Every structure is written in C-alpha cells, then in structure tokens.
Amino acid sequence: MQQYNYATLDKLSQLVIIYSRYIEGFPNYLGVHAGGILISEAPIHSYTATFIPPKGYATTQFDMVVAEDVGLYKFDILSQRGLGKIKDAVAVIRYNRPEVTTLDIHDIQRFKQDERIKHLLKNAKAIGCFYVESPAMRMLLKKLQVEAYLDLVAASSVIRPGVSSSGMMREFILRFRYPEKRKEAHPVMLQIMPETYGVMVYQEDVIKVAHYFGGLTLGESDMLRRGMSGKFRSREEFLKVKDKFYQNCKASGKSIALTEEVWKQIESFAGYAFAKGHSASYAVESYQSLFLKAYYPLEYMVATINNFGGFYRTEIYVHEARRHGGIIKAPCINKSYRETVIYGTKIYIGFMFLHALETNTIQKLLQERKLHGKFVSLDDFITRVAISIEQLSILIKINAFAFTKRDKRVLLWEAHMKISKVSIAIPNTPSLFSTPSVSYKTPTLNTSVLEDAFDQIELLGYPLCSPFDLLVTQRFHPYTAKNMQQYKGKVITIEGYLVTIKKTRTSKGDRMFFATFLDRSGDFLDTVHFPKIAKRFPFRGKGIYALHGKVVEEFDCITLEIIRMERLAIIEDPRYTASRKAQRHRPKKAI
C-alpha cells in the first residue's frame, strides 16, 4: 500500500488510511456458486447466519474454505451443455428419423465395444463430442491411440494442466505406447500406480504417493492434497506436512534428488487433477456423445448448434454437419424455427442465430405461421405479420424469402415501398388494409453468391460458402492436412482458415501459441508457433493464413512448426464496391 505523510492529511483522510489497512486483501465483491450446496447435521444456522442475495437462494456468510474447515459436506453441482446436447440430439433423432424405434443412450457397455466409436477415438474424429474435441485432447487421443474406456478415463485426467506442466504427460504417453519404458519408473511409484505406469494421473494418486512413498498418514496425505490447491499454501500445518514428507523420505533412504523430483510432480499436479470418479463420469458422457456422433452425426450436430456449440464457435459445427452430408440452408420463413431444424439431410439455421433479429419478431412470425399456415409471398407476409422495415430487411438479406424465387434486392426495394420504417400494426391483429398486390417497376437486379456470403457474415457471423472462395488471389498447393504425413521433416506452404488459438508460455516465460486451422478440404490442421516466430508473425484476427512451416510428427500426430505466416486478403465487399467506385469517379467541385 502506498505510504502517506500523515502530517499533510486531515483527520478523516487519516482514518481512511488506517481502516483501509484492515481490509486490505479481503474480497472486494461477493460471488455465489451457481450450484454449491452445503449439507449439515444440525440446522445450518447452528454454524452460520444466512442471507438472501438477488439470486434468491439462501446463502451462507462464509466461503467454501471455511465450510470445509467447519466440517460441513460441500458439493459443487456443475451445469454443462454437453448433457443438453445429448438430450436434444435424442429429441431431434425422434422427429427426423422416425424409423429409429429403439435408442438407448445409456447402453455404455455396448458403446465400449463399438467399432465405430473406437475409430472416432483412435483417429480423433470427435468434433462436437464432450471433453474429447479440443485440439489438445484430439492430439492426445492420436498420440495414445485410445480405444478402451479406461484409457479414455486416464486421458481425461492426463490432459489437465498439472500433469502436462510437470512433464509427466509425455512420460505417460511414452510408457503407454512403449511398454519397455515402464521399467524406468521408480519401483515404489510403479507399485503404487500400476494402472498408470507409475505416473500420477488422478487426484487420489497424490494421497497414495504421500502415504506410501512419503510415509505420511492418510489424514496428512489428504491435507497435502488439499493444500496443493493453492488455498492453504501459507498455512502452518501444511508446511509441517511438507517438512515431514522430506524427513520421512530421508529416513527411508531415498535420495534428495528423487524426493525433490516426486515433490515437484505432486506440487505441479495436485491442484489441477481430476478425481478418478470425475474422469470416469466424464468418459461416460464422452461415450454417449461419441455414439450419437458415430450413428446420427447430422442430428447430433443440429443439437450441438442449438446448444451454442462446445469448445468451438457455431460456424465449426455447421462446417462439421456439412462434412457429414448435411445440406446447410439459410433461415427460411416457412421452414425455420427459433432453433436450427433438420428435414432429412437439409439443415435450416435457426432464427435465434440472426444478429439483431428480435425475439418478439421471431415469436410473431412463428405464431402467425402456426395459426394460418405458410406464407406465400412477401405481400402475404407483410399483411399478416406486424414488422418494422429494419427487421424485415434482416429476413430478406439472409434469403428467408428464397422460396419466392425472386431476387432479394428486388424484395428489399418492394419492402421499403410497402411498409414504413416503424410498423404501427397491432400485434396478433389482422391488418385492416392489406398490402396491395401491385407490380412495382423496379430495376433489374441480381444478387451474386459473393454478396450473399457477405450478408451471411454480417447476420450470422460466417459465410455458408467456403471461406476460401472469398480470397483475392486463389492459390492451390498440393499439400493438405491428410497428406502432410508424406512430407515429414520437409518445409511446406499450406493455406488455413483460423479456428482457434491457445496461448501458453515456455519454461522461460516466453509466450508461444498452438493454433488450429481448417484446410481447403475442410480437415483440421494443427500448428505450433514458437516464441520468436510468434513475435515476428503475430495472428491478425479471424481469416485465412498462408502457413509456411516444417512438418513434424510425434507419436503419429502431425503438426506444422511455423516458420512464416501471413494473413491473406479477401475480396472487397461487393455490396459496397459499386458505390465506392462511383464516389472515386465523381467529379470534384471547384472551390
């Protein structure tokens, strides 16, 4: 805290400084866990007072750390969209695939033996599937060649920051792939954790190692585990346990180097690890989503889109649906609903994904269509739905009136002629003055595919065509994500559409990146950007990049180590090109 000369402060200011020191380090706001529950033997008021925050739930006046110290049972109930995707996918399958009469999403034993699911896991084809779709997890699945349930359980915890930061993730992969490497594990560690080849993978492993390797009691071992979370590191009892761990190791003849190595693993690992039960339950959910992806990919992608994706943005799941044979359609006033919907293989994007389209507009449109049937024309729509020109323009621009077979530019002209900027129609009431079916003389207008793409980018956030179609210069290289393995050790140039970036730091603290792109074929391409390259060739936002780098293989996983990278230019927005050209060629007025 900044020091002040009290002599220059008035009495009130001096009191502010005095009392501010008492509250320094205290929380500056109150947070309420979304699903934190305390269970007490006696009424909760035997332990603490409660109060009702704006959320409306009785809340204790102490935090989770104090609750644990008091001895209360504390449960954190998580909410996740993965379960919502599974539930919604089953509903989508029922309406789109009525021939499917039996669908047991809980038949985990069968899923464990299913060859299609094994193929998805082993080849990391799990986009959209719970906990196994991220770039890091896809790479780990490839490296481990996971096919079995227990291997996926281990992978779910190995991917956690603690294991990777301690360097033991690589060691686990080595011992998993090459059994002869398992002999390198310390005999005691191998005896404690034979299933994971002497590598700490689960949170319980900390207790085992502290107890059997470090000679601590089970109570002391659990205190060590909890202390590693970072909440108790300054506590005197934790430091005593740490000292006892070192003393016991020394007394049992273990070298200081070995003791420090094991302690380092515990310290970097324990605060981030999953309990085995946690990983096992995650793996069950992964298998359920993998089953749906393997047998009902389009329906599962629709459910994923409606739950606002998972690790990636919505665009990637739309792309994944297309890769599985889905025909992607822009929203349609006669086919679409609030959520994305599927008819056979045709997928209509939901109205809720249109930027700036109001909920009230969606409700009115759907209610009118339900009561009086489909719309037959723009005039019919304007007559039946009270809507402003701004809202109607959104629907026209996204091609929601494509069924009329009329160019959307013509429809925009007519819409502006037929309704005012603000609709004055009374909701749910038929208009007294129907829109006259008059043929206005409009210029001959034709909307190009590229104009549609830019309207889609504006209203959906992404084009429904390939983003590579928007490049100024079309370059075609022979390299793809699928054939990169043929060029191991060679330097190549390939184009990629940026999907996601992961920032990290080296052991020296320098910033580097891992990134994922889509190639022209729609396959995923993973890249590594080391500190010097990352600084010299930074990412410049969403778009397509020319990636020049070295093809590297590690445990059958192919990545591109970037040497040079540039963001490629896309075409000028054709919707405004003509007006800009006209302005450039307009005669200058003399002053």
Task: Indicate whether 332 pLDDT > 50.
Answer: yes
The 3-state DSSP composition of the chain as helix, strand, coil percent (nearest 5) reads: 50, 15, 40
Is 587 contained in some domain? no
Average pLDDT taken over every residue of the chain: 88
Q: How confident is the model at residue 358 (pLDDT cuts 50, 70, 90)?
A: very high
- Tell me if 543 is assigned to some domain: yes
Look at residue 421 in the predicted model and tell me its pLDDT: 47
Tell me: the pLDDT tens digits for 147-177? 999 999 999 888 877 666 667 788 899 999 9
| Residue 367 in tokens | 């209610």
Question: In this structure, are 536 and 455 located in the same domain?
Answer: no
- Rounded Cα–Cα distance for residues 414 and 265 (Å): 70
Q: Report the 3 state secondary structure along 495-548.
A: EEEEEEEEEEECCCCCEEEEEEEECCCCCEEEEEECHHHHHHCCCCCCCEEEEE
Residue 166 near residue 264, CB atoms below 8 Å = yes
113 three-state secondary structure: helix
Tell me the two tokens of residue 12: 């009130």
State the pLDDT at residue 1.
45
568 has pLDDT over 80: yes
Cα(451)–Cα(432) distance, integer angstroms: 37
Averaged pLDDT, 479-494? 95
Note the pLDDT of residue 203.
82
Give domain status of residue 292, yes or no.
no
- Cα–Cα distance for residue pair 518/127, rounded to 1 Å: 13
pLDDT one-digit tens code per residue, 416-428: 988 864 444 445 5
Q: Is residue 63 part of a domain?
A: yes
Q: How far is CA 162 from CA 168, 170, 269, in A?
A: 9, 12, 4
DSSP classification of residue 312: S
- Domain boundaries, position 414: 326-460
- Shared domain for 330 and 451, answered yes or no, is yes
Largest CA distance in the chain: 98
Instruction: Look at residue 6 and give its three-state secondary structure.
Output: helix
Residue 115 lies in a domain: yes
Task: Count Cβ atoms below 10 Å from residue 195 Cβ, excluding itself.
Answer: 13
Q: 55 with 172, same domain? A: no
In one letter, which amino acid is 208?
A: K
pLDDT of residue 486: 94
How confident is the model at residue 420, as a pLDDT?
61
Same domain, 113 and 236: yes
Q: In what order do the strands lie in the sheet with 327-329?
A: 327-329, 346-348, 341-343
CATH of the domain at 477: 2.40.50.140
- The predicted model gives 422-439 an average pLDDT of 50
Same domain, 266 and 352: no
**What average pLDDT score do residues 380-399 get?**
96
Residue 425: its pLDDT value, please? Answer: 47
Q: Are residues 435 and 559 in the same domain?
A: no
Looking at the 3D structure of the chain, how many domains does it have? 4
Can you give the pTM of this predicted structure?
0.83
Tokens of residue 568, six digits:
């490629």
Residues 6+ away with beta carbon under 8 Å from 131: 82, 137, 156, 282, 283, 285, 286
CA distance 358 to 346: 25
| Domain-embedded: residue 551 | yes
CA 407 vs. chain centroid, Å, equals 37
Length of the chain equals 591
Distance between CA atoms of residues 573 and 580, nearest Å: 10
- 98 and 54, same structural domain? no
In a domain, 316, yes or no: no
Bridge partners of residue 564, in order along the sequence: 548
At position 491, the amino acid (one-letter code) is: V
How many CB atoms neighbour CB 386 within 10 A?
21
pLDDT at 96: 97
The DSSP bridge partners found for residue 552 are 559
Give the model's pLDDT for residue 35: 78
Question: Is 370 found in the same domain as 242?
Answer: no
Q: Are residues 253 and 401 in the same domain?
A: no
Structure tokens at 200: 């700490």
> What CATH number corresponds to the domain at position 440?
1.10.150
- 22 and 51 share one domain: yes
Quick check: 586 pLDDT over 60? no
DSSP string for 146-201: --SHHHHHHHHHHTSHHHHHTTHHHHHHHHHH-GGGGGGS-HHHHHH-GGGTT---
Q: 18 in a domain, yes or no? A: yes
What Cα–Cα distance (Å) separates residue 284 from each residue in 41, 148, 200, 256, 305? 33, 12, 22, 41, 22
Q: Give, as one character, the DSSP assignment of residue 589.
A: P
Q: Do 275 and 361 fall into the same domain?
A: no
pLDDT of residue 423: 45
Of 291 and 41, more confident: 291
Encoded tokens for 28: 């500056």
- Residue 183 shares a structural domain with residue 230: yes
